[in-house]
Amino acid sequence: MSPTLLQEGSDHHALAGAKNAAFAYSDPLSEIPALSGVDISADGSTPIIDMEALLGPHRSEVIKQIGIACEKNGFFAVKNHGIPEMKINNMLDTAREFFHLPDEERLKFRSADPDSVIRLVTGFQDKTRNVFVSRQSLKFHCHPVEEYKSHWPSNPPSFRENVGEYCASVRKVEVAILEAISESLDLERDYIDKILKGHYVSINYYPACQESELDVTYGVRTHTDPTLITILMQDDVPGLQVINDDKWINVNPISNAVVVHVGDILQAISNYKYKSLLHQAIVNCEKERVSIASYCYPSDDAMIGPAKKLVDKVHPAIYKDFTYREFHESMWRVKCSTAKRLDLFKASTD
């Protein structure tokens, strides 16, 4: 099962521009912020973690910084992550080439099955809210690379090699960061790695703004990710925004750094110490934008409740124990705001 994102209504809508797209999911309007209220010129200050320092004598200090960033901000940027710059550039170039292909070439990957090993999701109009969501994404499993590679596009011809190399490198970052996050919670180093299963990549393509008769165009609307953590690689075009201290802030690209943010599953494991980050992407009219999201998710049978070590009289369990399979199934069954998905798994208070 993949950590498919529901909030986009992705399996219920038709192609960009389609009229009357059925939309099975409903966010209260109040949960969709007005973009006009966002100051896009301001860059929030992004905590920066030096991953190289995790391997050196100052590991415990870096772990502390990671813990503070997860608790206070819900995200941080990682530099010196070890993914070679060439692999990053190849990945971004390949992503652009794929989305510049003719429609018929890309649309081969369209699928209504959220569990298919690869699928293309296109932009859509949500007329009930007068919103156009412009993101197109190619979503696929990629760990282990050799198991899934044959399902990936063979056009552009560099796709499998470049994407495979990027995914294998990101996997190492995921494991190292999850180890550090476990330690930041005072858990054994491999506490989270033990339940980690795969990662699922979403190559996101945001065309330069398109004409729409609707009020608002989003890249992707406000949501949390149903992941342990998400590792986002952005190109050099800003667009990512996150909520910090009840305000939207921009997380502008930092050259050769990736953004790591807390997802729903880590919120549950940490017993609500680390909160799943509310984020969105906006578009601009001058430039297309590409980002690569790697969603780290646990195996289906993994027990996801709060780590026992984090529960005591002062910190009662906020969530009950549940499996990732139960969580994933409920995402499809129960239509609610992504930020409320975990409420279904709250511990009873009596």
Report the nearest approach of ligand OGA to the CB of residue 225 (Å): 5
Report the nearest approach of ligand OGA to the CB of residue 240 (Å): 4
Only one of the segments 37-45, 77-85, 218-226, 326-334 lies at the binding site for Ni ion (rule: CB under 5 A); that segment is: 218-226
Only one of the segments 10-18, 131-139, 225-233, 315-323 lies at the binding site for Ni ion (rule: CB under 5 A); that segment is: 225-233
Report the nearest approach of ligand OGA to the CB of residue 348 (Å): 31
Only one of the segments 151-159, 217-225, 270-278, 299-307 lies at the binding site for Ni ion (rule: CB under 5 A); that segment is: 217-225
Provide the terminal-to-terminal Cα distance of the chain, rounded to the nearest Å: 33
Nearer to ligand OGA, 32 or 311 (CB): 32
Report the nearest approach of ligand OGA to the CB of residue 9 (Å): 14
Interatomic CA distance for residues 89 and 242, integer angstroms: 25
Q: Helix 85-99 and helix 159-184: axis angle, to 10°?
A: 120
8 makes contact with Ni ion (CB under 5 A): no
Report the nearest approach of ligand OGA to the CB of residue 220 (Å): 5
Nearer to ligand OGA, 8 or 179 (CB): 8
Q: Which partner in ligand OGA, Ni ion, none is near 240 (CB below 5 to 8 A by kind)? A: ligand OGA
Nearer to Ni ion, 92 or 278 (CB): 278
Residues in contact with ligand OGA by CB under 6 A are 5, 202, 204, 220, 225, 232, 239-240, 279, 281, 291, 293
Report the nearest approach of Ni ion to the CB of residue 230 (Å): 6
Nearer to ligand OGA, 204 or 337 (CB): 204
Only one of the segments 14-22, 24-32, 58-66, 219-227 lies at the binding site for Ni ion (rule: CB under 5 A); that segment is: 219-227
CB burial string 289-326: b at 16+ within 10 A, e below: bbbbbbbbbbeeebebbbbeebbeeeeebbbeebbbee
Q: What is the phi/psi pair of residue 247, to 5°?
A: -125, 145
The closest alpha carbon to 265, from 341, 173, 348, 188, belongs to 341
Q: What is the CA radius of gyration of the chain?
A: 19
Q: Which partner in Ni ion, ligand OGA, none is near 6 (CB below 5 to 8 A by kind)? A: none
Among the listed residues 174, 225, 235, 264, the single contact to Ni ion using CB under 5 A: 225
Residue type at position 241: Q
Report the nearest approach of ligand OGA to the CB of residue 237 (Å): 10
Nearer to ligand OGA, 307 or 328 (CB): 328
Q: For Ni ion, which residue has the nearest CB? A: 225
Please answer whether residues 175 and 193 qualify as being in contact, where contact means their C-beta atoms are separated by less than 8 angstroms: yes
The closest alpha carbon to 140, from 150, 132, 131, belongs to 150
Please answer whether residues 230 and 305 qualify as being in contact, where contact means their C-beta atoms are separated by less than 8 angstroms: no
Region of residue 305 (left: phi > 0; alpha: psi -120 to 50; beta: else): beta
- Residue for token pair 């430039």: 287
Provide the sign of the torsion angle of the four alpha carbons 83, 89, 95, 98, taken in this order: negative
Instruction: Point out which residues bind Ni ion (CB under 5 A).
Output: 225
